Amino acid sequence: MRPNLTRRTLLGTGAAALGAGTLGLTARPASAQTAVSLQLSWLHSSQFAGSYIALDRGWWSEAGLDVSLLSGGPNAPVEPPVVSGAALVGISAADYTAAAVEQGAPFKILAVAMQKNPFVIASLPANPVNEPADLVGKRIGMALANTPVLQALCTLNGVDINEIEIIPTQYSAQPLLADEVDCLLCWETDLPVAMAMQGVESLTMLMADHGYAVHSQTYIATEDSLANRRAELVALMSGEVRGWDAYREDTDAAAALTLEMYPDAGLDLETQRLQAARQVPLMFSDLTDANGFGWWTDETVAANIETLALLGQTVTSDLWDRSILEEVHGA
Amino acid sequence: MTNAAAGTGRPLATGRRGAGGYGPMLGVLVLLAGWELAGQLLTEAFVLAAPSEVALYLVRDWQLMSRALGVTLGNAAAGFVIGNVAAVALAGVALLWPRSERVITGLALLVFCLPLVATGPILRVFFGPGPGPQIALAALAVYYTTLIPLLVGLRAAPDSWFDLVRSYGRGPMSALVHVRAMAALPYLFTGLQIAAPAAFLGAMVGEFTGAERGMGVLTVRAIRALDVEMTWGLATVATAVAILAYVGIGALARRVLLEAPPVILAAPAVATGRRLGGWIDTGLVILLALGGWAGAIWAFGLNPFFAKGPGDVLDALVFAPDAAATRATIGAALAESAVYLIPGYIAGLLAGAALAILLILVPAVASTAMPLAIALRSVPIVTTAPLIVLLLGRGAVGTIFLVAVMVFFPSFVACLQGLRQAPGQVMAVFDSYAAGPLARLVRVRIPAMLPAFFAAARMAVPASVLALTVAEWLATGSGIGSLMALSASLSDYDMLWSSVVLVSALSALGYVLVGAVERRVLAIYAPEQLA
Amino acid sequence: MAHDVTPPPEVVCTSLAKTFAGGTEAVRPIDLTFAAGRTTALVGPSGCGKSTLLRMVAGLENPSAGRIEIGGAPPRATLRRAGLSVAFQDPSLLPWRSVRGNIELALTLARRKAGASEIDQLIDLVGLDGFAETRPAELSGGMRQRAAIARALATRPGLLLLDEPFGAVDELTRRQLAQDLPRIWEARGTTTILVTHSVSEAVLLSDRVIVLSPRPAEIVADIPVDLPRPRPEDAARTEAAGALIDRVFAELSKGMAASNPPLAAQ
């Protein structure tokens, strides 16, 4: 199915066996590997390159896990495969997870990859949006479904949303470039990157810098898995932590690896490099420097609960469960 | 019994003996020139790539593109085979056990009306990683448009042929082998021809559910990345493949068959005289649909978090404390969609009829217009929906245009064949009065066209709903298509399933209603079709 | 060539009647015996029910009352061993098969075999030499009917049912067929039932003419035709034939007149 992966896995195992042989150890037979799946939230790209590194370097197979990275897509919600057990862990976001929990899904957030929410307001230098107050009188292009997000930002910053003209657009930078809108609600790592690659310089105002605190790219698992498959969760997450730490050290290499592993994904190296670099500030902070990748504190959770309340979602700190991460970083 | 107006029309879409072989080339050239011009003018707008740019892109990235094409084509072919085999099997059951026909077609219609947006994720959970959902969606996209003409074709033989078989002491099996199978072939080819582009579209949409490679994956990537050359390159390749499949099956049909494949002309399955029987069948369809739905959830142990049963939907829509709010949300979304759907549907039907009439009055246009019409129809909507909405603006025009395109082609082909079917003797009478082409058109040809027009109108109902929901989901972000996508991302599966039920039921109802209008019209203009 | 030629059966209809589901009475109870190896013509005004009678004998239509025995067995048994052939009013040729292909299909259906030369002879006999590989769409109406007759003969049936088989055949060919066909079924000893509305054809071709009334069909007259065979082309102009033809006409008119008063009274 994935010739590249198979080849890599084989090579990796071969190398590991060689190494083990010289050390006089026996290699773990392939059959002893536990198969688990990690459901990604979007198509393969350097957005998930930390996981690719963990896979590529055999960190999971060393720990006895045979990890499949399941691609996401525009019509591939993350929650169902995690609930049904098809995936052990899924990559979601605090707001989506909260919505699923409200609908009865027994999810916990195990770790937070994006400490800062990637939502930005993107604009062009000639007509910039540098802070929320600049939105007044502007035409913003966004999916109507994201109105609560803009509303939350406005509430947090004392801006009257009625002063902003919302223009429903599809998720594309084109309306901004065609001057149909003055700014876009989008992710730091996709549409601005696409514009940059087309030679268009844009400004981004990170909503997280203006009080919009919603953990993104969160790792979720079911309560049942937390109770009964702890060892696998710990092994999976420690691979992730190692992978993302390695990613941070060399994002260009991570982007190159992404292309190497997924040659059919239609990725462009320059775009992937830029995207990989741009998501570093979202994922790593003083907090993670002090405590390790994926960490959160009661304070960041409290901020999340506050923002989620503005989005109409009532959650408690029970939604987060740090026990796996503590085991990973404690070990 | 349903009966078919045997297609005696001339071969379509190919200009086999078209006057002058330059017509089709001219059409393609006109198209390319217009496209190139528009592409050059709109370079700065990031919506349209000129053919020269597309060609350059395809030369540069042909390896990536051919790998993606291989994957999608493979899945589409698998789905094409499975869906058509299923259609043949269903038709076989309906033939051996005629009592079951209306229940089978009713259930088949309901399943065909299930919106892609909603079935995709469920199929992904069901199949897990791999090509399962792509193949399943391709199969789902084709089986109905094969089943219906096939059912007609299997009966499209005069009684005396069956008498002949019986007079030699042979039974239904011999009749099937020697008469029905051969008589059904033209109808089967008609179905296959429509199925080919549909299977490709289904496979592409299936890739949205988490595939790693394929044309659909690349489409999403290209649109996000503002890569206009790649987007139009994908649309071009996908369209070319769909056209080739359409033309290829047509060519095969002409090798095998004596006459051109007929237009699908099944009188609607509803109300075959016995009102009571009709109601019983409808009830049976609903019962079986509900039973199959609940049974599948139970049998496959689907998780109740996302797999909602009939009871859950009834609860969400009627009994739950927030049922009124749910109904209001879905109702508002449906109303929003209807505003686009109905004008697009009617515009598509009328445009198809109008072009067909134009071709009859000015036959020289035919060889130029035909390739354009096929190309327009074969463009996979998932690649073009976002582009067309960008190109025509986010207002009503883009969405209405998309719906109209989906409806236009079947209407056009059917009307053309209907117009050409005008009875020769009646035409001769008009000739003897020296009636002009317009009088002939109004008094003879258009009435003769009506049965085909309505058959197309009926079959276009599910297609138009598909176009609308895909456009809303991928491009405009409004209406029921968007509500379904949003509900899935917010895990509001009660809302999603309720929407699915209502969309499917309304589509099926629309189909039946158009069928009812059709019967009233046929009773006046073509009573023999209802015999 | 070895053929399992079915011996010609006697066909006995006892109190045979047909009323259609809609209530239309097509055939009043009829007692009629078709002698083995002889040719019987059924004559009557169009729509009188003679085709229905033929279809019942062929086992294609179930009688509402009475019964039919072919060689002492019900029609179904004869059908099962493909012991009869029907040439329908509508030639019913399959459009995707050539003339030869249609004949071969009949042989396949009847589980019979015939050599290519035998099929060629039949095709020649009905005047279609040169058209063996032609598809029905390219034949005239009369040629199609002749192909259907050839097909009916191909299986060498013991019982041959002909339903107005010359309706679309041109006069010249019709004359030729009237010469050739009786020779075949005489040589083979076939029991033949011929439905026609041509009185002279009935007299020339058959050993006996049954005149039927307008619908519902009843037997108006049963007229033996004792003209010597073979009957040359001008046999119809002999005095004996003329008398027979006049008599059949007279009986036909009588039958028509008998059914008129109730119509006029309406």
Give the pLDDT confidence of A2-51 residue by residue, as tens digits.
333 333 333 333 333 333 333 334 444 444 689 999 999 999 999 999 99
> How far off is chain B from A194, nearest CA to CA, in Å?
5
In the block, which residue shows the tokens 């029970």?
A318
Residue B228 in tokens: 């206009």
B-chain CB neighbours of A104 within 8 Å are 304-305
Based on the number of CB atoms within 10 Å of its own CB, is A138 exposed (0-12), middle (13-18) or buried (19 or more)? middle
Percentage of chain C surpassing pLDDT 70?
94
Percentage of chain B surpassing pLDDT 70?
86
- Show the DSSP H helices in A64-189 as ranges: 79-84, 94-102, 147-157, 174-177
Residues A199-219: tens digit of each pLDDT:
999 999 999 999 999 999 999
Classify residue C164 by its DSSP letter: S
CA distance A119 to A214: 10
C-chain CB neighbours of B179 within 8 Å are 94
- The pLDDT of residue C264 is above 70: no
Q: Per the CB < 8 Å rule, is B226 touching A171?
A: no
| CB B356, CB B448: distance < 8 Å | no
| CB A238, CB A89: distance < 8 Å | no
pLDDT recorded at residue B186: 82
Is C50 in the same domain as C66?
yes
State the Cα torsion B188-B506-B457-B474 to the nearest 10°. -80
pLDDT recorded at residue C127: 86
Bridge-based pairing state of the strands C84-87 and C159-163: parallel
Residue where a domain terminates, one of C113, C134, C156: C156
Chains touching B (at least 3 CB pairs under 8 A) are A, C
pLDDT recorded at residue B7: 35
pLDDT recorded at residue B329: 93
Q: What angle do CA A293, A295, A297 make, to 5 degrees?
A: 160
> How far off is chain A from B373, nearest CA to CA, in Å?
28
CA distance B222 to B236: 13
Is C169 in the same domain as C255?
yes
| φ/ψ of residue A95, rounded to 5 | -70, -40
- Which residues is A141 bridged to in the sheet? A167, A184
Range(s) within chain A of domains with CATH label 3.40.190.10 = 33-116+214-330, 119-210
Is C164 in the same domain as C251?
yes
Q: Is C34 among the domain residues? A: yes
Per-residue pLDDT band for B273 (boundaries 50, 70, 90) equals very low
Is C67 in the same domain as C198?
yes
* Short-list B395, B55, B462, CA closest to B232: B55
User: Which H helix or E strand runs over A232?
Assistant: helix A230-249
Per-residue pLDDT band for B421 (boundaries 50, 70, 90) equals low
Is C101 in the same domain as C196?
no
Q: Is C2 among the domain residues? A: no
Q: Per the CB < 8 Å rule, is B226 touching A197?
A: yes
Fold of A119-210: D-Maltodextrin-Binding Protein; domain 2 (3.40.190)
Q: Which of C80, C108, C135 sits opposite B169 (nearest CB)?
A: C80
CA distance C193 to C206: 9
Q: Is C5 among the domain residues? A: no
CA distance A138 to C197: 91
Q: Is C24 among the domain residues? A: yes
Q: Per the CB < 8 Å rule, is B167 touching C105?
A: no
C111 to each of B170, B263, C9, C82, how far by Cα in Å?
Answer: 10, 37, 20, 8
Interface of B with C in 158-177 (CB under 8 A): 158, 160-161, 163-170, 174
Q: How far apart are the first and last CA of chain C?
A: 62
Q: Reduced to 3 DSSP states, what percent helix, strand and coil does chain A have, rounded to the nearest 5?
A: 55, 15, 30
pLDDT recorded at residue A331: 54
Per-residue pLDDT band for B420 (boundaries 50, 70, 90) equals confident
pLDDT recorded at residue B263: 52
B-chain CB neighbours of C108 within 8 Å are 178
Is C46 in the same domain as C120?
no
Please give the ipTM for the structure prediction: 0.87
Is C59 in the same domain as C178?
yes
**Nearest residue on chain A to B118, alpha-carbon basis:** A75
Give the structural domain span for C122. Answer: 87-156
Per-residue pLDDT band for C145 (boundaries 50, 70, 90) equals confident
| CB B290, CB B284: distance < 8 Å | no
- The pLDDT of residue B9 is above 60: no
CA distance B98 to B104: 10
Q: Which of A40, A67, A75, A172 to mutate to test the interface with B (most CBs of B within 10 A)?
A: A75
**Nearest residue on chain C to B179, alpha-carbon basis:** C94
Residues A307-319: tens digit of each pLDDT:
999 988 999 999 9
Classify residue A78 by its DSSP letter: S
Q: Which domains does chain B have, with CATH numbers?
A: 22-530 (1.10.3720.10)
User: Which H helix or E strand runs over A119?
Assistant: strand A119-123
CA distance A73 to B118: 14
Residues B197-226: tens digit of each pLDDT:
889 989 998 999 989 999 999 998 888 888
| CB C15, CB C65: distance < 8 Å | yes
Per-residue pLDDT band for B5 (boundaries 50, 70, 90) equals very low
Interface of A with B in 124-153 (CB under 8 A): 143-145
Count the domains in chain C.
2
Question: Is chain B touching chain A, with at least 3 CB–CB pairs below 8 Å?
Answer: yes
Q: Per the CB < 8 Å rule, is A44 touching B212?
A: yes
B-chain CB neighbours of A178 within 8 Å are 45-47
**Nearest residue on chain C to B177, alpha-carbon basis:** C109
- Show the DSSP H helices in chain C as ranges: 50-57, 75-80, 99-109, 116-125, 141-154, 171-188, 199-205, 239-265
CA distance B34 to B54: 14
Q: Per the CB < 8 Å rule, is B164 touching C135?
A: no
Is C146 in the same domain as C171?
no
Helix orientation angle between B228-256 and B215-224, rounded to the nearest 10 degrees: 150
- Residues B251-280 as b/e (b if ≥16 CB within 10 A, e otherwise) read eebbeebebbbbbbbbbbbbbbeeeeeeee
Q: Per the CB < 8 Å rule, is A174 touching B128?
A: no
> How far off is chain C from B167, nearest CA to CA, in Å?
6
Residue where a domain terminates, one of C156, C171, C191: C156
Q: Which of C92, C95, C105 sits opposite B178 (nearest CB)?
A: C105
Q: Per the CB < 8 Å rule, is B389 touching A170?
A: yes
Residues A155-177: tens digit of each pLDDT:
999 999 999 999 888 788 888 98
Fold of A33-116+214-330: D-Maltodextrin-Binding Protein; domain 2 (3.40.190)
Per-residue pLDDT band for B380 (boundaries 50, 70, 90) equals confident
| CB B477, CB A170: distance < 8 Å | yes
Is C50 in the same domain as C101?
no
Q: Is C1 among the domain residues? A: no
Classify residue B262 by its DSSP letter: P
B-chain CB neighbours of A167 within 8 Å are 394
Residues A179-204: tens digit of each pLDDT:
889 999 999 999 999 999 989 999 99
Type of residue at A240: E
- The pLDDT of residue C167 is above 80: no
> How far off is chain B from C135, nearest CA to CA, in Å?
10
B340 to each of A167, B348, B471, C109, how far by Cα in Å?
Answer: 18, 12, 11, 56
Is C119 in the same domain as C236?
no
- Residues B204-235 as b/e (b if ≥16 CB within 10 A, e otherwise) read bbbbbbbbbbbbbbbbbbbbbbbbbbbbbbbb
Maximum distance among all Cα pairs of chain B, rounded to whole angstroms:
75
Q: Per the CB < 8 Å rule, is A77 touching B220?
A: no
**Nearest residue on chain A to B471, alpha-carbon basis:** A170
Per the prediction, chain B carries an average pLDDT of: 82
Of the spans B67-81, B166-180, C241-255, which averages the highest pLDDT?
B67-81
Residues C108-144: tens digit of each pLDDT:
998 888 888 889 988 988 888 899 999 888 888 888 8
pLDDT recorded at residue B343: 93
- Average pLDDT, integer, range B261-265: 52
CA distance C40 to B17: 52
Q: Per the CB < 8 Å rule, is B491 touching A37?
A: no
- The pLDDT of residue B19 is above 60: no
Question: How much is the pTM?
Answer: 0.84
**Nearest residue on chain C to B257, alpha-carbon basis:** C96
The CATH code of the domain that includes C219 is 3.40.50.300
Q: How far apart are the first and last CA of chain A?
A: 35
Based on the number of CB atoms within 10 Å of its own CB, is B83 exposed (0-12), middle (13-18) or buried (19 or more)? buried
Residue where a domain terminates, one of C156, C172, C206: C156
- Which residues is A91 bridged to in the sheet? A219
- Show the DSSP H helices in B61-180 as ranges: 62-96, 101-112, 116-127, 132-153, 159-167, 172-175
| CB A42, CB A96: distance < 8 Å | no
Residues in contact with C89: Cβ distance below 8 Å, sequence separation at least 6, in sequence order: C51, C163, C164, C165, C167
Q: Is C6 among the domain residues? A: no
Q: Which of C78, C83, C109 sits opposite B174 (nearest CB)?
A: C109
pLDDT recorded at residue A100: 93
Q: Per the CB < 8 Å rule, is B217 touching A43?
A: yes
Percentage of chain B surpassing pLDDT 90?
25
Per-residue pLDDT band for B425 (boundaries 50, 70, 90) equals low
How big is chain B by its Cα radius of gyration, in Å? Answer: 23
Is C125 in the same domain as C226?
no
Bridge-based pairing state of the strands A107-114 and A216-222: antiparallel
Helix orientation angle between B228-256 and B62-96, rounded to the nearest 10 degrees: 40
Bridge-based pairing state of the strands C65-70 and C11-19: antiparallel
Q: Which of C90, C92, C106 sits opposite B168 (nearest CB)?
A: C106
CA distance C227 to C239: 10
Q: Per the CB < 8 Å rule, is B212 touching A262?
A: yes
